[in-house]
Amino acid sequence: MKVLHVAAEIFPLVKTGGLADVLGALPQALVRAGADVRLLLPGLPAILHGVEMQESVWSIGAIFGAGQVTLRRGTIARSGVTAYVVDAPYLYKRHGNPYLAADGTEWSDNVQRFALLGWVAAHLAAGEFDANWTPDVLHTHDWHAAMACAYVACRPVTGVATVFTVHNLAYQGVFAVEDFHLMHLPSRLMVPSGLEYHGQFSFMKAGLKFAHRVTTVSPSYAREIATEAFGCGLDGVIRARGADVSGILNGVDPGVWNPASDAALAAPYSSGALAGKAVCKAALQKELGLVVDAKAPLFAVVSRLTQQKGLDLLLAAWPLLLQDTLASGAQLVIQGSGDAALEAAFAAAAQAHPGQIAVSLGYDEALAHRVIAGADAMVVPSRFEPCGLTQLYALRYGTVPVVRAVGGLADTVVDANPHHLAQDSATGFLFDAAEPQALVGALRRAIACLRDAPTWARIMLRGMAQDFSWSSAAEQYIALYEDAIRRPK
């Protein structure tokens, strides 16, 4: 089975979130499962630099506002997976965020930048650009690649099934109707039953409407986005697809996330030799200016600082938590960036509580590993969470998750309630309501268990024993691909 994955980012070359981690790991898992997998990526500087042994496949010429577009083929250095790169300097030769300018606004020509990516994907699927390799499955990821499904649908490409994965429905790629003429698509698609979306048009809707199969990155999120509460205005479109929508849980790349071999850590450790985790905690406390205290409960957040992630709940909950004598000496580490108000609020909290709260704005991959390894518990209080990878990394590193019971968080963390503790199946702490008091309750339960060393050790070890490898996900994707090929839309 030949599968072409299309996305805007890939670890370790370009990363803004979990999408990059998925594209860095899933293709390799599919190869191990027997698939012939290739990637299609935009020619961002880091991607052009990181794809090795490139050769020109096709000179496309001038299109989508670019004077010259060339399709190249090479190899991803870390994985050995073959990758096509759309080299269009006018559209992609920009440093920094793939989607946003330095001032935080979207690039003004994103409609053309990502229409080009989808257009090239459709033509590759039709066998036009590489006669020696034509995919059976075109698998597109998030809104940046979703328009490929519309290009395939409006000029039917025989022999290829399309799959669209929603990594985060909240980011939809919505553009002004005045820009539709830039898409090189027939005007008949600019209707409510097509791409039209409240007087604009939506890339995300292209994937949801026209892909033969739609997936999300966890089973619970697949159910949630069909509801008004989580559907971001597209729940009706999703409900209309019925059984074509399913959820496949993301995995963890053990080559990247393994405390026994992680070069970023102060000391290695494993479930059979945990001494190194205490070393990592002390090293993290020292590195970030916290009081070095092995007994202090150390909570961490590694996240985009946005309302989605519920971090305003944590800001409100923390002072309430510290009113409890059980939480005496509790510490908090925040690593991430995003909303300016949240960044300022956490920075102010750190300044007001030196030695107890540390904030590192921005993203540093190696520091993220050290934070996850050094913390006692990882806090993920999201209002919604398609899958969540941070809690999966935390489980693998013996860092107990404290999470809201939504999406992939609910699918991957077993609450340490009396029943699950008695069964020795607990792996973390869940709370339901998106309210500070509910989060405080989960944090208090976590601290109480942390003070009970044998109970905490059982929770840690149960979490570390969970199998979130990509092999299971790869098998499920292969089955879905086979079904899509057999029964196209």
Q: In sequence order, what DSSP letters do the residues of 206-267 get, joined into one string? A: HHHHH-SEEEESSHHHHHHTTSTTTSTT-HHHHHHHGGGEEE------TTTS-TTT-TTSSS
**Strands of the sheet with 377-380, listed across from one edge:** 357-361, 331-336, 298-302, 377-380, 400-404, 429-431
What's the CA gap between 95 and 329, in Å, rounded?
42
Q: Looking at the domain assignment, is residue 390 inside a domain?
A: yes
Q: Looking at the domain assignment, is residue 267 inside a domain?
A: no
pLDDT at 489 over 60: no
Residue 458: per-residue pLDDT: 98
Determine the average pLDDT of the residues in 244-262.
95
Tell me, yes or no, whether 211 and 319 share the same domain. Answer: no
For the chain, how many structural domains are there in total?
2
Q: Looking at the domain assignment, is residue 36 inside a domain?
A: yes
Tell me, yes or no, whether 309 and 416 share the same domain. Answer: yes
Tell me, yes or no, whether 149 and 201 share the same domain. Answer: yes
Determine the average pLDDT of the residues in 206-223.
97
Pair 87, 60: CB distance under 8 Å: no
**Domain containing residue 56: CATH number:** 3.40.50.2000
Tell me, yes or no, whether 459 and 350 share the same domain. Answer: yes
What's the CA gap between 14 and 98, in Å, rounded?
8
CA terminus-to-terminus distance, the chain: 19
Q: Looking at the domain assignment, is residue 393 inside a domain?
A: yes
- Which structural domain, as residue segments, surrounds residue 19? 2-251+470-486
Q: Looking at the domain assignment, is residue 76 inside a domain?
A: yes
Tell me, yes or no, whether 409 and 434 share the same domain. Answer: yes
Q: Looking at the domain assignment, is residue 268 inside a domain?
A: no
Determine the average pLDDT of the residues in 105-123.
97
Residue 363: per-residue pLDDT: 84
Tell me, yes or no, whether 410 and 298 share the same domain. Answer: yes
pLDDT at 159 over 90: no
Tell me, yes or no, whether 34 and 159 share the same domain. Answer: yes
Tell me, yes or no, whether 18 and 155 share the same domain. Answer: yes
Pair 4, 149: CB distance under 8 Å: no
HSE-CB at 48 with a 13 A cutoff on CA atoms is 15
Tell me, yes or no, whether 446 and 460 share the same domain. Answer: yes
Residue 158: per-residue pLDDT: 73
Tell me, yes or no, whether 61 and 192 share the same domain. Answer: yes
Q: Looking at the domain assignment, is residue 43 inside a domain?
A: yes
Q: Looking at the domain assignment, is residue 451 inside a domain?
A: yes
Tell me, yes or no, whether 300 and 232 share the same domain. Answer: no
What is the identity of the amino acid at 252? V
Tell me, yes or no, whether 23 and 158 share the same domain. Answer: yes
At 488, is the pLDDT very low, low, confident or very high (cuts 50, 70, 90)? low
What's the CA gap between 288 and 109, in Å, rounded?
40
Determine the average pLDDT of the residues in 476-489.
88
Report field, pTM of the whole predicted structure over 0.75: yes
Whole-number average pLDDT of the chain: 96
Beta strands in 114-217, from DSSP E residues, in sequence order: 137-141, 161-166, 174-176, 196-197, 200-202, 213-216
Residue 103: per-residue pLDDT: 84
179-195 pLDDT, tens digit per residue, is: 999 999 999 999 999 99
Residue 157: per-residue pLDDT: 67
At 78, is the pLDDT very low, low, confident or very high (cuts 50, 70, 90)? confident
